[in-house]
């Protein structure tokens, strides 16, 4: 018996990466801006997204959402209150969304009839960072109740994100939350990242966030998406 070595040099998640590349090509073809929202459970992604969808619809934009949870379709029902088309992805125990789930749940939607698609990931700050969903922009959310050092504890996901949003700012004082420290920690693991601080419930900071989305969605900003696509999402081998 003799041995030999096969040089594979292949990404472990190559199947997901390939599906994500196909999705990204479809999104670009349809001129559809896609954002992937990641955070811990309980950060307030659903409330933040519901207010975002409602406001964007008032601006005349055609928006939709896919929402991932281990069980129940409670979040989809909450998001539907915005009037936007919403589909629930129930993962039955799987701790993240993958590109295959996105592809299956987009079936029947005419992507060219949409302007912005939001994907609300399963609440988890570890596993979703490995799975490219074909998004142009990854948004990492952090609530004031979680502590300022969350980005230092979970550097992988914050480093993989393009934008950070600090949520529940209306209760920041009660939580003795230090915004400056939190922002410094975010920048420690992802220098230069754009950060928004909001209270979706009270509407605080939402205008800046919406202005950012409108700017991203405009045709002249498409190059920003292209840069994000090429750089952040690529798994370097």
Partner 1 sequence: MHELSIIYSVVSTVTKAVADQGGGQVISVRLRVGALAGVERDSLLFGYDLATQGTPLAGSVLEIEDVPVRIYCSSCACEQTLVGVQSFRCPVCGRPSGDFRSGRELAIESVEIETPQSEQAPC
User: Which residues contribute to the site for partner 1 (CB under 8 A)?
Assistant: 1-15, 94-96, 126-127, 129-130, 152, 155-157, 159-160, 187-193, 235-237
Question: Smaller CB distance to partner 1: residue 15 or 202?
Answer: 15
Q: To the nearest whole angstrom, how small is the minimum distance from the Cβ of residue 145 to partner 1? A: 21
Question: Smaller CB distance to partner 1: residue 152 or 181?
Answer: 152
Determine how β-strand 63-69 pairs with β-strand 116-120: parallel
Q: To the nearest whole angstrom, how small is the minimum distance from the Cβ of residue 1 to partner 1? A: 5
Question: Smaller CB distance to partner 1: residue 85 or 156?
Answer: 156
Question: Smaller CB distance to partner 1: residue 69 or 115?
Answer: 69
Q: To the nearest whole angstrom, how small is the minimum distance from the Cβ of residue 122 to partner 1? A: 11
> DSSP readout, 19-44?
HHHHHHHHHHHTT-EEEEEE--TTS-
Q: How far apart are CA 47 and CA 57, in angstroms?
A: 16
Q: Which residues contact 155 (CB under 8 A, 6 or more apart)?
A: 189
Q: How far apart are CA 86 and CA 76, in angstroms?
A: 6
Q: To the nearest whole angstrom, how small is the minimum distance from the Cβ of residue 103 to partner 1? A: 17
Contact 122, 91 (CB under 8 A): yes
């Amino acid at each position: 018996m003799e041995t030999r070595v096969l040089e594979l040099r292949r990404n472990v998640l190559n199947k997901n990466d390939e599906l994500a590349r196909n999705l990204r090509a479809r999104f670009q073809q349809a001129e559809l801006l896609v954002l992937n929202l990641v955070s811990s459970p309980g950060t307030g992604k659903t409330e933040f997204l519901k207010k975002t969808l409602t406001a964007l619809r008032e601006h005349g934009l055609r928006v939709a959402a896919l929402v991932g949870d281990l069980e129940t379709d409670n979040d989809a029902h909450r998001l539907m209150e915005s009037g936007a088309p919403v589909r629930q992805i129930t993962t039955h125990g799987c701790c993240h969304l993958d590109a295959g789930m996105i592809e299956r749940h987009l079936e029947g939607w005419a992507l060219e009839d949409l302007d912005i698609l939001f994907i609300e990931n399963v609440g988890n700050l570890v596993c979703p960072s490995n799975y490219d969903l074909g998004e142009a922009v990854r948004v990492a959310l952090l609530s004031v109740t979680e502590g300022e050092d969350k980005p230092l504890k979970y550097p992988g996901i914050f480093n993989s994100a393009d934008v950070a949003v600090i949520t529940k700012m209306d209760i920041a004082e009660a939580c003795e939350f230090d915004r400056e420290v939190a922002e410094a920690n975010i920048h420690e693991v992802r220098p230069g990242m754009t950060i928004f601080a909001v209270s979706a419930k009270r509407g605080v900071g939402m205008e800046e966030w919406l202005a950012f989305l409108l700017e991203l969605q405009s045709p002249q900003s498409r190059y920003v998406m292209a840069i994000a696509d090429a750089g952040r999402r690529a798994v370097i081998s």
